[in-house]
Structure 1
Amino acid sequence: MQSKQIHPEQIKKLGLAVIDTELSAVDALRAQIDDNFVSACKLMLGCEGRVVVIGMGKSGHIGNKIAATMASTGTPAFFVHPGEASHGDLGMITPKDVVIALSNSGETGEILTIIPILKRLSVPMISITGNRSSTLSTEADINLHAGVEKEACPLGLAPTSSTTVALVLGDALAVALLDARGFTEEDFALSHPGGSLGRRLLLHVKDIMHTGEQIPQVHENDTLRDALLVMTEKGLGMTGIVDDNQKVLGIYTDGDLRRTLDKNFDVHKAIIKDVMTANCKTTREHLLAAEALTEMQQNKINAMLVVDENDKLIGALNMHDLLRAGVV
């Protein structure tokens, strides 16, 4: 194989041609969202087991991704390599499952080999093929057509448009099932606890708030100087002001300090209750951290005190805590 000289404009032209070809193929897929698509979704919704996706080569890679998308959006699914299925992995498939078989030609030998076994087990099968007259298309209970006029590969050989269309069709199935199941953001987060969405939706205020000795707080009759020392020590940019019963009366922040200085208060003699922000926004420990973030953003504040049902101070958090937790 001899390399050609690279011409930037020609490279760009080829890149755009690939995108245009695949866009056209995906656009043509709209016509395939028909009664068969609905039947396939109903079959999977009624599945008591799992959706098992099979495919060889590039179709296998696409099938693997389809199975992963379904599994993370409320449809239990996994991928089985059809070649391995003939050597023992077929035991992973049960009569309660539904099989989705991908093959652009519809004549992939490794898949056709296991069709009789699937039929003997009475396992319903959905095929995604590029040829309606193929063996796989006709043997399946439901066939979803994913044929394309041409591949984006200039040689017409490498699976490109066909794999893109199969992937989009798989995504369409997964999302349709997601909606039909009433799958929510919270459900998604439960299967993605390590991701940013999981952190945003599963973390509660109590999981990230400062407690005990870490809480910046002063008594209402303490001086402003005392409050500033506490703020410096605790490093949250604020302090809570409480009464004899630990009930929150207000908050004092770095912003309040600037406003106090503008009013020429004596920092050493001023009493904190005279310069604090009374009736400050507070939150509860059982709330989601994301809810606390929303309230902070809506009120344009960078810190909040956490109180119990009696408005007693039990914690504190600021925007940096939310950032570190990955909520922001």
Structure 2
Amino acid sequence: MPQRNIKKCDKIDTMKIFIYIFIAVFLAPLPAEAADPIKPIPLSIKYDRKKAELGKILFMDPGLSSDKSVACVSCHSFDHGGADPRPVSVGAHGKTGHVNAPTVYNSYFNFRQFWNGRAKDLKEQARGPLHNPVEMAMDKAEIERYLGESGFYVETFRNVYGVAPTYENALDAIAEFEKALITPDCKFDRFLRKEVQLTALEKRGYRLFKTLGCATCHNGINIGGNSFQKMGLIFPYPWKESFPDRYHITHSPVDKNVYKVPTLRNIELTAPYFHDGSVPTLELALRKMAYHNLGFDLNAEEVEALTAFLKTLTGEPPTIIRESR
């Protein structure tokens, strides 16, 4: 392995010593020959198709926002890997948020929802944007009134749920649609299933992904989404009170800049990167993560190889979207 340009701290304090020991013991990089830390996405999952189709309509309906200008899809674009290509989203009445909207694709596999994990599942997650004053700015009564005044929705909800539209059933339908948004059959999944081979550059990128320590946090079926980690573990990352990190949940100072690890699936499609949407390219994101969370600089060859590997994680668009386009 090439000699690493390790950054030196001007001052080593007790906390930094503890962090280094923690990394050495619990976050040690994996050897290149270690068992694969990534698991393929199943080619399909079971979901209620009628509920999901209704959820898709609701997901794309700007009528669920207070000024009828934005829908869920406005901030989770199907053309950008289920994410928002803007650093922060623009909601009802032109209001802006404080965080980059993460991809909705494969969110079913996340252990919690939102950057700070404040929602336990997709249905609970769906409540947030509908009520957030800088997103859709609606309330339960307004949503039920809007749906109940639509002959189409009344008929469709009765067909799917057996009753007229309700707020809870609307959330249930949206969650079922989001459950269906999986992106299987990426090149790397097919490699894991021994169906294809990676190029030499892609293989080198995967070896680096494991040996440098990336796979310590980005692992499992969603290559992330299964733990909380600190952004700026070695060299601090700028923090703002407005960032929705774990500190907003626990109010413990140690949770500042602690977020749910984002998935790396379809990462080439979901720029800009990081919770603040400040990084426009995948290459720059790799360099910044290596510096802030691993404590060293990547060279150009490493960035090239890692980028090649990450591009093998782009899967097929969700079937429920492809079939209607």
Q: Same fold (TM over 0.5)?
A: no
Higher strand share: 1
Q: Using structure 1 for the length normalisation, give the TM-score.
A: 0.22
Q: Which structure ranks higher in relative contact order (CA pairs < 8 Å, sequence separation ≥ 6)?
A: 2
Structure number with bigger Rg: 1
